[in-house]
């Protein structure tokens, strides 16, 4: 069985290994000891804080194999982006150049530098190690965030975004960045990506072109990857699209990967989830239960598992096993929030 829980200080070595395995382009987990320890401490502070409105809290979870104690994945939520550091995007829009006299009408795409997503919540830092990529583990890491956000809505904004990794090759070369590098930056993509990951964003404002960029002036290779995701990111994008996320024209300023968004009140898993108290009965849970994503309703002692749940219409209770309850650190009568792994049509 795997559980998902808040990260703790003793998870540093595991987080460092995950950061190394995640590779170039995974900006939220740079291989940097000071930064990773800072992320852990910031997350511990966020889970321990009394919050009534979203601020600069950063929640980082890990997935743990309860048998071996090995940390096999991580996933996170930023309560409100752009509060401490500027949060940049390009927005893909259009301008029209027309002359009635000459009967010429041209529509041209442009990229406009912006901070439009300041203050929204962001789901981020999802990575599952190769050894654990089986069953519903990947979906579990993704969907647990929506259950946590729905349970603790006061901690998060209504708009939720996810920045998707853009196209780059095995050496970390991004066609989009190569064009920017040649004209404005004079630094390679891995360096720019790393500097952003460790919080050094001043160079972006200093060197990024301030005026809209005409897309048709970019190289053909750069144009071809705007709004496209890295091959390894395609499954994650499909998961989010199933939840109701879509792209509204915002792309990453380095690799042009799409940023997708949804309203928390419309996210599929959050809205079909149910908050109920539990009754512990191994036999009933096993015989008539549905495999479900389950969280307890705590914050600092948060736990999540995938296990069978049977809802008793007569009592209004969710029936789960003693093993699941122990993993969730709950007892008879405590509350859970859950959503079936296979939603009903």
Residue 44: name the closest of 68, 76, 2, 14 by CA: 76
DSSP string of 53-69? S--S-EEEEEEEETTT-
CB count in 10 Å sphere of residue 276: 17
Spatial contact of 259 and 163, defined as CB atoms under 8 Å apart: yes
Q: Which residues of 222-246 are buried (b: 16+ CB within 10 A; e: fewer)?
A: bbebbbbbbeebeebbebbeebbbe
Four-residue CA torsion sign, 83, 180, 166, 192: negative
Identify whether 230 is a catalytic site residue.
yes
Spatial contact of 29 and 11, defined as CB atoms under 8 Å apart: no
Catalytic residue among 91, 230, 266, 279: 230
Compute the distance between CA of residue 310 and CA of residue 287 in angstroms, rounded to an integer: 9
Spatial contact of 194 and 238, defined as CB atoms under 8 Å apart: no
Spatial contact of 279 and 312, defined as CB atoms under 8 Å apart: yes
CA distances from 236 to 16, 62, 270 (A): 22, 17, 17
CA dihedral defined by 226, 227, 232, 236, rounded to 10 degrees?
170
Compute the distance between CA of residue 237 and CA of residue 168 in angstroms, rounded to an integer: 16
In the structure encoding, which two tokens stand for residue 84, read together? Answer: 């401490």
Active-site amino acid positions:
230
């Amino acid at each position: 069985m795997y559980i998902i829980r808040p990260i703790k200080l003793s998870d540093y070595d595991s987080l460092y290994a995950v950061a190394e395995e995640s590779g170039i382009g995974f900006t939220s987990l740079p291989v940097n000891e000071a930064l990773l320890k800072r992320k852990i401490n910031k997350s511990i502070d966020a889970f321990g804080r009394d919050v009534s409105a979203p601020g600069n809290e950063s929640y980082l979870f890990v997935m743990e194999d309860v048998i071996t104690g090995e940390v096999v994945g991580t996933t996170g939520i930023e309560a409100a982006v752009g509060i401490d550091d500027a949060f940049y995007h390009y927005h893909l829009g259009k301008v029209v150049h027309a002359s009635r006299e000459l009967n010429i009408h041209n529509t041209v795409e442009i990229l406009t530098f912006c901070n439009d997503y300041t203050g929204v919540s962001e789901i981020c830092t999802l990575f599952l190690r190769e050894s654990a990529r089986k069953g519903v583990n990947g979906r579990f890491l993704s969907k647990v965030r929506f259950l946590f956000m729905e349970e603790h809505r006061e901690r998060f904004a209504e708009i939720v975004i996810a920045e998707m990794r853009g196209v780059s090759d095995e050496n970390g070369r991004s066609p989009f960045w190569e064009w920017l590098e040649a004209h404005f930056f004079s630094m390679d993509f891995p360096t720019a990506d790393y500097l952003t990951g460790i919080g050094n964003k001043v160079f972006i404002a200093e060197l990024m072109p301030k005026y809209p960029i005409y897309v048709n002036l970019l190289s053909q290779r750069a144009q071809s990857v705007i709004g496209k995701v890295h091959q390894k990111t395609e499954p994650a994008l499909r998961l989010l699209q199933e939840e109701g996320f879509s792209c509204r024209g915002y792309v990453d300023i380095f690799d042009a990967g799409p940023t997708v968004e949804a309203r928390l009140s419309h996210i599929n898993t959050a809205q079909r989830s149910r908050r109920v108290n539990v009754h512990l009965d191994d036999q009933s849970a096993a015989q008539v239960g549905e495999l479900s994503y389950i969280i307890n309703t705590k914050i600092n002692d948060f736990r999540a598992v995938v296990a069978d749940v049977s809802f008793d219409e007569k009592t209004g209770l969710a029936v789960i096993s003693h093993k699941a309850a122990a993993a969730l650190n709950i007892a008879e009568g405590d509350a859970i929030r859950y959503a079936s792994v296979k939603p009903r049509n």
